[in-house]
Copies of this chain bind each other. A is one copy, B any other.
Amino acid sequence: MHSYTEENYLKAIYKLQEINGEVVATSALAQVLGVHAPSVTDMLKRMAGKKLVAYQKSKGFKLTEKGKQVAVGIIRNHRLWEVFLVDKLGFRWDQVHDLAEELEHIQSVDLVNKLDAYLGYPKADPHGDPIPDANGVLPKLKSVLLATLQKGEQGTFTGVTDHSAAFLLYLDKSGISLGDTIKVKAIEAFDQTCTLQLKAKREVVVSQKVANSLLISVA
């Protein structure tokens, strides 16, 4: 149906729109895809022809409804495969991204729906990212960055904004796991370093960078 490459463009545009608002810039897309700007301009013209993106010369671009549907479908595939790799095959959460990046391109509605059922209709992937349902509806989880909490506030650790293996391994090493209740015990005024209290009395000190990478659901 759509090429592997087109699908990667669609997914990348979708994610950029999510973060930066409606309109995406050529250079931003080139950067996340690891290609040079003229390649993006080229590809966008082709994709505009297929009504996957709305494109106006030198004015940025955004997904059409059709493009958005394809993108959400790929994200659904990706996240369900990640659940499979972790829950069924025993991969760690820092190992699954690249494999899911390949598996996501196998376009079969039947396959992904059967996979979904087999996994028990999970709501989120191993990193806490929400999984769109079969109709492409993506549950909006309302969570905030740990860095926005005040001293004394607490919540449940439900996701990350940094998906790098390095960060995920750091969390493992520090004993911070998805689903944990986390309370902010102290915030250092000088550099915003946070002292967190995890289950029982265990305390961990994390940098501001870490606090900015953790998503917390406040009750």
The residues of A with any CB-CB pair to B shorter than 8 Å are 85, 88-91, 99, 102-103, 106, 108, 111, 114-115, 118
Contacts and interface: CB of A to CB of B under 8 A. Distances in A.
Contact of A88 (B85, B91, B108, B118): B118
A88 B115 CA distance: 9
State the number of copies, please. 2
B89 A99 contact: no
Nearest to A111: B99
Contacts of A91: 114
Closest CB pairs A-B (n = 6): A89-B114, A102-B106, A89-B118, A99-B111, A99-B108, A88-B118
Contact of A89 (B102, B106, B115): B115
Given A89-B111, A89-B114, 13 more contacts: A85-B111, A88-B118, A89-B115, A89-B118, A90-B114, A90-B118, A91-B114, A99-B106, A99-B108, A99-B111, A102-B106, A103-B103, A103-B106
A114 B108 CA distance: 23
A102 B103 CA distance: 9
14 contacts: A85-B111, A89-B111, A89-B114, A89-B115, A89-B118, A90-B114, A90-B118, A91-B114, A99-B106, A99-B108, A99-B111, A102-B106, A103-B103, A103-B106
A81 to B, nearest CB: 10
A108 B95 CA distance: 12
Nearest to A105: B102
A103 to B, nearest CB: 6
A8 to B, nearest CB: 15
Nearest to A102: B106
Nearest to A114: B89
Contacts of A88: 118
Which one of A91, A102, A118 has the greatest number of beta carbons of chain B within 10 Å? A102
Nearest to A106: B102
Nearest to A113: B89
A102 B108 CA distance: 11
